[in-house]
Amino acid sequence: MLSRTAADALRALIERRGSSTINDPFGMLRIGLMMKTRLISIYLLAASLSGISVQADELPDWSGVWQRFEGNGGIFDPATVEPADGRAGSPGVRQYPPLTRAWEDKYAATLELVAQDRVPDPISICGTPAGYPRMLALPDVYEFIVRPEQTWIITENGPNILRIHTDGTEHPPPEELWPTFTGNSKGRWVGQTLEFTTISMIGEAHTILDRSGLTLSDQATVATRMYLTDEGLLRAELVIEDPLALAEPWHVTRHFRRLPEGTRAYDYACAENNRNPITSSGQTLTLDTDGNVIDKVIDGEVIE
């Protein structure tokens, strides 16, 4: 729309100036300067009409490559994890979101399987992304690409891409939404803070929040605020609501630290050489270089 408007303006300007001006090099220079001014004006007008609330030079510097700041092996809510140094997926390690009774029972049953190392992590099969909000708690590195109309959060691990529209548009109507791994995110810039809401996430059907097996339903919504702290960390404050899984809003805070300049992200092709397939019972197997299973015990049965 913007380019068509600019083209129309250029055409009208040349028509008004007439062909004689085209033969005048200084006239062309004047036209160029006028066009630059007009294009800027047109862009600003289009931006204000489209709902974009910020200019590119007003955006914060989130450039570079980042890494999750919190440890605990990717536990999603480090503030409630017990024991405090517990790692996601280790027996006896859990967190305490305000779960409903039904979801607490579900989590407790899952933790029993975790103790037996029988909780298959969806991302271990190298087939599907981690989804939102788990993608804020992944290993490897992150990139945050900010533009006035959209922000992209890219995780090397997976990879995952979260697209956050800040162009003033609203979430699509229900008939145009279906559950996806990252859902649908709409937001805005408030000063140097990115605020967005995410809906229509696929939930427990194909995602977990971490290797402790915690899940949300596909009715969850996440309100996220992201901003740079005085210490230079990128802070993400989440308020998660879920009429099925949560008895009250769940507040989770995570941080990212910027890695030294020159650090790069690379391809993560999980299926390239995945020598750890998962059995139907959740056991992680090991393959040799020819693709043969070399485990000596599979699902409790000793392999001769």
Partner 1 sequence: MNKVRVFCCVLLALPVLAVAHHSSAMFDKEQVRDEMATVREFQWTNPHVWIQVTLESAAGEQEEWSIEGLGPNSLFRNGWRPNSFKPGEIVQIRFNPMRDGTNAGGFIGAKFADGKTLGNWQ
Task: By CB under 8 A, name the binding residues for partner 1.
Answer: 73-74, 89, 117, 119, 121, 123-124, 126, 139-141, 156-157, 211, 259, 263-270, 272-276, 278, 284, 286, 288-289, 294-297
CB nearer to partner 1: pick between 91 and 172: 91
CB nearer to partner 1: pick between 52 and 75: 75
DSSP 227: E
- Least distance CB 255 / partner 1 (angstroms): 17
CB nearer to partner 1: pick between 228 and 293: 293
Whose tokens are 């299973």? That residue is 293
Counting beta carbons within 10 angstroms of the beta carbon of residue 137, is it exposed (0 to 12), middle (13 to 18) or buried (19 or more)?
A: buried
- Least distance CB 299 / partner 1 (angstroms): 11
Triad 140, 143, 144: Cα angle to 5°: 145
User: Are 97 and 248 in contact, with CB atoms under 8 Å apart?
Assistant: no
CB nearer to partner 1: pick between 184 and 215: 215
List the structure tokens of 26: 């200084």
List the structure tokens of 302: 């000793």
- Least distance CB 257 / partner 1 (angstroms): 14
- Least distance CB 63 / partner 1 (angstroms): 17
Spatial neighbors of 246 by CB under 8 A, at least 6 apart, are 97, 98, 99, 100, 103, 216, 220, 240
CB nearer to partner 1: pick between 19 and 289: 289
CB nearer to partner 1: pick between 74 and 78: 74
Cα separation, 118 vs 110, in Å, equals 9
Residue 78 CA neighbour count, 13 Å, CB half: 15
- Least distance CB 266 / partner 1 (angstroms): 4
- Least distance CB 42 / partner 1 (angstroms): 43
